[in-house]
Chains A and B, each alone.
Chain A
Amino acid sequence: MSMRALLLMVLALGAAPLQAGEPDPLQSVMWEHHHRNLLGGQAYVFDPQVRVELPPFAEDARQVPVLVDARALGDEVVRIEAWADLNPIPRIFTFVPGDEVLPLVAIRIRVEQATPVRAAVLTRDGVWHVGGAKVDAAGGGCTAPSVVRAQPGWEDRLGQVLGGRFPRGEASRLRMQVAHPMDNGLVGGIPEFFLNQAELRDADGQPLATMELYPAVAENPTLSLELKHDQPAQLWLRDNNGNEFEAAF
């Protein structure tokens, strides 16, 4: 090999990380994989304006609270993807907030081990803004026996929604908890059975925000969203067996 070829190789190697973007602040082995698969390998920046709030450790690996807050990016937000890097089922949700809904989601998830949790926020200029945090965990949350299925009569409560509306300045926080086992297919002999679609709608049934859910979401999903104003809202849900559920705030 000539000296020049060697030099070129060294340069190419040195330059490669730059082409792949800035280094992952959470130093996760899975970042590149998820960037390619969930974000289509598109342009991104690690952006502290995307806040992902997690407890430092998971006291209950089956119910880990995650708050994703991209309000600092305001009306530029088109879509939010959230996932847990090291989960067997990494994806948590895809959220499209629309014009009347703030880019903020609180939800509870299952983690199988200590993992980074990420939110990637696509803005109108086509760039993903990525935030994240790490949670420590004893683990096993994804493969633990279902708590819901151990409760007699859970089938009768399927799709029941507990909800409430709480003022947040001009905005209005909608909290909801849906009775559903959110079976992820990883617990012995129980196939996937989970809520996979949610829509927040206005009084006329027009969508205000849409959400896809994945079975990293905890049993009996607890979810909070924020409307910019105090307008009426309805919730529509569907699971992967085609059951539909509706509620009104």
Chain B
Amino acid sequence: MRLILLALALCLGLPAQAEFSYQLQPRQIAADTWLFEGSTDNFDKHNGANIVNTAFIVGTDGVLVIDSGPSRRYGEQMREAIGRITDKPIVKVLLTHHHPDHVLGNQAFADVPIAALAGTTELLREQGDAMAENMYRLVGDWMRGTEVLLPSETLEPGVLEIAGHRLRLLALRGHTGADLAIFDETSGVLLAGDIVFYQRALTTPNSPGLDAWLADLDTLQALPWKLLVPGHGPVAEDAAPFEQMRDYLGWLDGLLRQSAESGAELGEVAQAPIPPRFAGISLTRYELIRSATHLYPKYEAQALERIDRQ
């Protein structure tokens, strides 16, 4: 009997523990700057929601962390991985925006100041629990122990001197209404947050509008950056991610407008053909279904007029 139990424990227990390792491998992308690059897939039980890019900067007197990842486990493993690179203390965590894949690792940094734009904290307060619940539904046990931990500091846009690096903080709004981009003037690295997706379809659940997003892209591209780190997808030394973003946003905007003007139903918009030039972008169909749901009602309202007897 004891043997059977042992065998059961071996079958059930050990592989499960191994499965919850994100295998986080920091990769140095610039002086002092390290990246954890996530996949461009959707959240699922295989990737544990590691679909996101997080980063850290090892400065003179400490480490600055950018985004904490999708779960408590991710945050903890991220912190371990940082510890393998440097024994300097973590001095601060900056959150780019409130979406769950970027902030649900906060618990692992509870002893460190966690800073975000005021709007990000507000959105996380409103939506965090519901988003976390949905993450449990999507990726299951990877999320064990994860709870929303709100930022402890409010960031203002402007220059932040930290750990020997001069960071320019930009308050943008195209993706969620409160989006932080970080331009490291010392290294030339632009951490664009989710204002830039590359080779992965952008997401729109809180976008105030595609115009605002396009304006943010102009703001970022005009900076004297040398290396571009998108919130999702591979880093780039050229402007290809900006071009892809503009192309995709322009197509999406045109599709929604023309669909509304021709009287298309929401379901028909979601099934619209996706141009072949976007074939290399992950999850375009999935994200079109989502974006149509988020954005089409505004376009519809513009294409219809009051017809009731007043």
Q: Confirm or deny: A59 has a beta carbon within 8 angstroms of a beta carbon on chain B.
A: yes
Contact at A65–B265, with CB atoms within 8 Å?
yes
Q: Say yes or no: is B304 at the interface (Cβ < 8 Å to chain A).
A: yes
Q: Can you sample 29 A-B contacts with CB below 8 Å?
A: A56-B289, A59-B293, A60-B293, A63-B297, A65-B265, A66-B267, A67-B268, A138-B137, A159-B308, A160-B306, A160-B308, A161-B307, A162-B305, A163-B306, A163-B307, A164-B303, A164-B307, A166-B262, A168-B263, A173-B263, A175-B263, A175-B304, A176-B307, A222-B300, A224-B263, A224-B265, A247-B307, A247-B309, A248-B307
Pairs A-B, 4 closest by C-beta atoms? A166-B263, A163-B307, A162-B304, A59-B293
B 278-310 to A, binary, CB cutoff 8 A, 1 in contact else 0: 000000000001100110010011011111110
Q: Is B152 an interface residue (CB 8 A)?
A: no
Which positions in A face B, CB cutoff 8 Å? 53-57, 59-60, 63, 65-67, 106, 108, 138, 159-166, 168, 173, 175-177, 222, 224, 235, 245-249
| Residues from chain A with Cβ under 8 Å of B308 in the complex | 159-161, 245-247
A173 to B305, CA, bound (A): 15
- A168 neighbours in B (Cβ, 8 Å): 263
By a CB distance below 8 angstroms, the chain B residues around A224 are 263, 265
Task: Tell yes or no: B221 within 8 A of A by CB.
Answer: no
> Given A108-B266, A162-B305, list of 11 further CB < 8 A pairs?
A55-B267, A56-B289, A65-B266, A159-B308, A161-B308, A162-B301, A176-B304, A222-B297, A222-B300, A245-B308, A247-B308
Contact B300 A161, beta carbon cutoff 8 Å: no
CB < 8 Å: which of A63, A67, A164 contacts B305? A164
B263 touching A164 by the CB < 8 A rule?
Answer: yes
Q: How many residues of B contact A (CB 8 A)?
A: 25
Taking the complex as formed, is B63 at the interface, i.e. its CB lies under 8 A from any CB of chain A? no
A175 to B205, CA, bound (A): 25
For window 109-148 of B, CB contacts with A under 8 Å fall at 133-134, 137
On chain B, the residues within 8 Å of A65 by CB distance are: 265-267, 270, 293
B300 contacts which of A53, A177, A247 (Cβ < 8 Å)?
A177
In the complex, what distance in Å separates the CA atom of A177 from the CA atom of B265?
12
User: Residue B267 contacts which of A54, A162, A235, A245 (CB distance < 8 angstroms)?
Assistant: A54
Most chain B beta carbons < 10 A, residue from A59, A108, A249: A59
A162 to B310, CA, bound (A): 12
Beta-carbon contacts under 8 Å, B36-85 to A: none
Q: Pick from B137, B267, B308 the residue with the most CB of A within 10 Å.
A: B308
B contacts with A: majority SS: helix
Residues of A within 8 A of B307 (CB): 161-164, 176, 235, 247-249
For the complex formed, measure the closest distance between the CB of B287 and the CB atoms of chain A, giving whole angstroms.
10
Cβ A246 vs Cβ B270 within 8 A: no
Q: How far is the CB of B281 from chain A (nearest CB, A)?
A: 19
Bound complex: CA of A69 vs CA of B308, how far in Å?
27
* Chain A residue nearest in CB terms to B301: A162
> How far apart are the CA atoms of A54 and B270 in the complex, in Å?
10
Residue from A63, A67, A159 within 8 A of B265 (CB atoms): A67
Residues of chain B within 8 A of A161, CB atoms compared: 306-308
Instruction: With a 10 A CB-CB cut-off, give which of A65, A106, A165, A175 has the most chain B CB atoms.
Output: A65
CB-based nearest A residue for B262: A166
**Are the CB atoms of B290 and A106 closer together than 8 Å?**
no
Query: How far does the Cβ of B305 sit from chain A's closest Cβ, in whole Å?
Result: 7
- Complex CA distance for A165 and B268, rounded to whole angstroms: 17
Q: Please give the distance in Å from B255's CB to the nearest CB on chain A.
A: 16
A235 CA / B309 CA spacing, docked (Å): 10
CA distance A12 to B205 in the complex (A): 54
Shortest CB-to-CB span from A169 to chain B, Å, is 12
Give the residues in chain A near B304, CB-CB below 8 Å. Answer: 162-164, 175-177
B301–A177 touching, CB < 8 Å: yes
Closest A residue to B303 using CB positions: A164
Contacts of A159 in B (CB 8 A): 308
**Cβ-neighbour of B134 out of A138, A165, A248 (below 8 A):** A138
The complex places the Cα of A177 from the Cα of B297 at a distance, in Å, of: 10
In the bound complex, residues from chain B placing their C-beta under 8 Å from that of A245 are 308
Q: How far is the CA of A166 from the CA of B261 in the complex (A)?
A: 8
